[in-house]
Structure 1
């Protein structure tokens, strides 16, 4: 798993923001929307990848806020 921030579902219906590889949540929210806002901001500040998971755990969205090792040529 790449280093980053993950918005993940919790069994009770809440949503958590968790660092890659961490077993504990950084912060827990009632809605996915709140978790996404917090997680995206944290990923931007830390310059890391940002992942949003679906309720089944699969990744539905991914953004990179770090230095791109393969930037587009233009």
Structure 2
């Protein structure tokens, strides 16, 4: 992809940046949180609502939940313990509507 005519050579247009980022992600095997995948060397655990009203803990890249809990506090506690067991673990907590809590 190319930038519009007249853009400085030292800067990237958005399309070039996106292409470079995608290329890096494909070659390194790493991606970002927006896509739901882990960042370089980081293991991410998501606490999300389950369809039956429980809360589940799922590691990025795992096909199954690491745990299912009746309440959110227990799910967050498990996610924190799992993240602490990794060198660069992190926890992402979602609200009941699925949005990431800040």
Question: Above 0.5 in TM-score?
Answer: yes
Structure with greater helix percent: 2
- If the length of structure 2 is used for normalisation, what is the TM-score? 0.55
Matched with 1:53 is 94
Residue ranges of structure 1 left out of the alignment (5+ in a row): 62-74
Residues in 2 aligned to 1:44 and 1:2: alpha-carbon distance in whole angstroms: 18
CA RMSD of aligned residues (A): 1.3
Deviation at residue 22 of structure 1 after TM alignment = 2.7
Corresponding pairs, count:
61
TM-score, normalised relative to structure 1: 0.73
Unaligned runs of 5+ in 2: 1-35, 39-43
Higher strand share: 1
Query: Which one of 34, 37, 42 corresponds to residue 77 of structure 2?
Result: 37
Q: Which runs of 4+ in 1 moved over 3 A?
A: none
Deviations 1:24-52 (A, max 9, x none): 21111000000000101111111222100
